[in-house]
Amino acid sequence: MKRSIAFALFSAALLCSSCGTDHANLPTEFVYTAPPTPTGLAADPGAERCALSWSYPAEAMPLVREFRVYQYYESYDMLQLVGTTADTAFVDTLLVGNLYYCYSVSAVDTTGFEGWRTAAVCAFVPTGP
């Protein structure tokens, strides 16, 4: 009799615990709105430096806090942030010459949300004089 009472109590407890938890509702829609992606990224290499410039829609500029400039390491498929700017141009300095450098840029809106990064643009940086 004791075993059957224990079994009944165990069953009831298991059933009670099972109907207690529940998963929350899924957010039905994708809630993020990303700032537009910069276009026309161009690299202008110099001696141990590389100047970058890009275009951005004028109407979207007030919503942009900054642009993030990344260096792209093709061998590792890895991005590294090299700097930020509020302008549509950036100069990466103190580079080691005689190497290829690849860059990608993204826009960050006033809430701190970062939009899609551009495709990497590469340039050969020569050594200094």
Partner 1 sequence: MKRYIAAMLVAAALAGAAADASAGENLWYSVFFPGWGQTRAGHYGRAALFAGGEVVSLVALAISDVQYDRAVEQYDRARAAYLGATYIGDAVEQYDVMREKWDDAESLHRYRQAAIGAAVGVWVVNIVDRVLFDETRVPPIAFAPRAGGFAVAASLSF
| Binding of residue 16 to partner 1 (CB under 8 A) | yes
Residue type, 28: T
| Binding of residue 18 to partner 1 (CB under 8 A) | yes
| Binding of residue 86 to partner 1 (CB under 8 A) | no
Torsion over CA of 23, 25, 26 and 28, rounded to 10 degrees?
Answer: 170
| Binding of residue 80 to partner 1 (CB under 8 A) | no
CA 41 distance to own-chain centroid? 17
- Which of these ranges, 30-38, 53-61, 70-78, 81-89, lies near partner 1 under the rule CB under 8 A? 30-38
Alpha carbon distance 114, 56 (integer Å): 14
- Which of these ranges, 9-17, 38-46, 55-63, 119-127, lies near partner 1 under the rule CB under 8 A? 9-17
DSSP string, 77-129: TEEEEEEEESSSEEEE-SPPSSEEEEEEEEEEETTS-B-PPPPPEEEEEPPP-
- Residues in 87-126 at the binding interface with partner 1, rule: CB under 8 A: 106, 112-117
Choice between 112 and 129, CB closer to partner 1: 112
For partner 1, the binding residues (CB under 8 A) are 1, 3-5, 7-12, 14-19, 21-24, 26-27, 30, 32, 34, 106, 112-117
